[in-house]
Amino acid sequence: MLTTLEVKAPRLVTALPGPNAKRILEQDAKFMSPSYTRDYPLVAKRGHGAIVEDVDGNAFLDFAAGIAVCSTGHCHPKVVSAIQKQAAELIHMSGTDFYYESMPQLAERLGRTMPGAEAKKVFFTNSGTEAIEGAIKLARYATKRDKMIAFYGCFHGRSMGALSLTASKSTQRKGFGALLSGIEHIPYPYAYRCAHGHTGETCGAEILEQLEGQIFKRLFDPEDVAGIIIEPIQGEGGYVPAPKFFLQELQRICRQHGIMFIVDEVQSGMGRTGKWWASEHSGIEPDILCSAKGIASGMPLGAIIARESVMRWKPGAHGTIFGGNPVCFAAALATMDLIEGEYKENAHRMGDYLFGRLADWTKNFKIVGDVRGRGLMIGIEIVRDQRTKEKAADLRNLIVDLAFHKGLLVLGAGENTIRLSPPLLIDQEQADFAARTLEDCFREAGKKI
């Protein structure tokens, strides 16, 4: 049996899935809800750094990181030790009714990462969807308005409020009946497929015109709008960055009408793009910022960070039993130390390295339509024809599967995009392995056209 501590690159020792994995897949099929969306049969057993070992001793290079969650890699010794120490001391009292030292400590540190001169306040949750759910309530509470604007392609979660904002895949909504009313969706500035032929810097001007000229004139008076919510880089929608001017203009519109500007940094935040928050690259100062995923290296934690003057709800207005327990806080504080000390910079450096390495992919591979993103949040859009940009979901799925069989874990995003969201600690050797493996997969998949 391999010990992952010794390997930095994948090693496959059985056919996939191996015998132990097969047994677990059978159990899973019998007992688990069929709503989960597994792309390939990885049964994870242990992990270290960017390597995950399965139940048969196969070691994989992980460029999925538990869907962009394991920011500091798997089982970073400092995170593990912080969790173990805290678990032996106190696991839960409920931060809703009692106090913990680590609660304001983490809140202060998170608040300091969010741009803007005003002091910040924080509410902790267990997940991304709960952070969004709370942000909807906070925006309504703070403005005494109830309408919201969200974007096509964005994913904000699966609880009913967050799902009402989500406009990613209709399967996520189908069968669940009426959702929150008073929400309008408008197009997301998707430069590669910009209907008006704009570039990555200018795409979206017409969307803003639609918002101000149509939505605000014909549907919602802006004075009824509580919040506009956006992912600065669309995650589940296909790793699509919004142009800088677009986010700045949204902020202007929000400020003009007293609308809460809410950024969902659940996937794009915590150093993944080389800064704490992807929205920082655009120089904006949101009113409310939602985080989760990478915040505690895999422990369940989310956060709503808001300007102090916004987060003024009364005791009892919002609460949670589990949201933020001392073990998650310990993991988050250790995670922040690591991201601040080393990994944010590494995400920037390795992101630049990878983008340099992938720069020629659209020239070299007919099925690669677009390579985009920032830092270690990279999307590769797979098409059947570069000219027509016909989406090749089947080839994307094939590439994800081929990569798995070559020891590289990646996930899809959107209809036909491959996402690279490795732990923030990867090195050049691992980046090269991932790039080489994907190149092999593109060659194989390209033969299927």
| End-to-end C-alpha distance for the chain, whole angstroms | 39
Q: Is 264 in the site for ligand PLP (CB under 6 A)?
A: yes
Task: Pick between residue 51 and residue 240 the one whose CB is nearest to ligand PLP.
Answer: 240
Q: Is 133 in the site for ligand PLP (CB under 6 A)?
A: no
Q: Where are the alpha helices (DSSP H) in 291-427?
A: 326-338, 344-358, 361-364, 393-405
Q: Where are the alpha helices (DSSP H) in 37-191?
A: 65-68, 77-89, 102-113, 128-143, 160-165
Instruction: Tell me how far, at minimum, the Cβ of 58 lies from ligand PLP, in Å.
Output: 26
Residues 65-124 that bind ligand PLP (CB under 6 A): 67
Task: Pick between residue 132 and residue 445 the one whose CB is nearest to ligand PLP.
Answer: 132
Phi, psi of 156 (to 5 degrees): -125, 0
Grouping H, G, I as helix, E, B as strand and the rest as coil, residue 102 is helix
Element (H, E) at 407: none
Q: Is 277 in the site for ligand PLP (CB under 6 A)?
A: no
State how far the alpha carbon of 336 is from the alpha carbons of 111, 235, 269, 431, in Å.
Answer: 12, 22, 12, 23
Which of 4, 72, 86, 129 touches ligand PLP (CB under 6 A)? 129
Q: Is 156 in the site for ligand PLP (CB under 6 A)?
A: yes
**Which residue, among 109, 99, 17, has the nearest Cα to 56 in the 3D structure?**
17
Beta carbons within 10 angstroms of residue 317's beta carbon: 10
Which of 142, 150, 240, 266 touches ligand PLP (CB under 6 A)? 266
Task: Pick between residue 67 and residue 180 the one whose CB is nearest to ligand PLP.
Answer: 67
Instruction: Tell me how far, at minimum, the Cβ of 128 lies from ligand PLP, in Å.
Output: 2
Options 44-52, 100-108, 145-153, 229-237: segment touching ligand PLP (CB under 6 A) = 229-237
Say which residues have a Cβ less than 8 Å from residue 69's Cβ, sequence separation at least 6: 293, 294, 297, 298
Q: Is 155 in the site for ligand PLP (CB under 6 A)?
A: yes
Please, which contacts does 2-6 make with residues 24 or more away whose CB atoms are closer than 8 Å?
2/53, 2/57, 2/59, 4/46, 4/47, 4/48, 4/49, 4/51, 4/52, 4/53, 4/59, 4/74, 5/48
Options 216-224, 238-246, 259-267, 312-320: segment touching ligand PLP (CB under 6 A) = 259-267
Which residue has the closest beta carbon to ligand PLP?
Answer: 128
Q: Is 335 in the site for ligand PLP (CB under 6 A)?
A: no
Q: Is 128 in the site for ligand PLP (CB under 6 A)?
A: yes
CA distance 323 to 144: 25
Instruction: Tell me how far, at minimum, the Cβ of 173 lies from ligand PLP, in Å.
Output: 15
Q: Is 231 in the site for ligand PLP (CB under 6 A)?
A: yes
Q: Is 298 in the site for ligand PLP (CB under 6 A)?
A: no
Please report how many Cα atoms fall inside a 13 Å half-sphere around the Cα of residue 23, on the Cβ side: 5
Which of 53, 54, 133, 236 touches ligand PLP (CB under 6 A)? 236
Task: Pick between residue 107 and residue 262 the one whose CB is nearest to ligand PLP.
Answer: 262
Which of 136, 292, 328, 333 touches ligand PLP (CB under 6 A)? 292
Task: For residue 168, give both structure tokens.
Answer: 């990613």
Options 18-26, 201-209, 228-236, 393-401: segment touching ligand PLP (CB under 6 A) = 228-236
Do you know the residue count of the chain? 449
Instruction: Tell me how far, at minimum, the Cβ of 265 lies from ligand PLP, in Å.
Output: 8
Instruction: Tell me how far, at minimum, the Cβ of 8 lies from ligand PLP, in Å.
Output: 28
Grouping H, G, I as helix, E, B as strand and the rest as coil, residue 242 is coil
Instruction: Tell me how far, at minimum, the Cβ of 130 lies from ligand PLP, in Å.
Output: 7
Q: Is 135 in the site for ligand PLP (CB under 6 A)?
A: no
Options 53-61, 154-162, 177-185, 303-311: segment touching ligand PLP (CB under 6 A) = 154-162
DSSP 144-161: T--EEEEETT----SSHH
Q: Please report, as ranges, the residues that interact with ligand PLP according to CB under 6 A.
A: 67, 127-129, 132, 155-157, 231, 235-236, 264, 266-267, 292
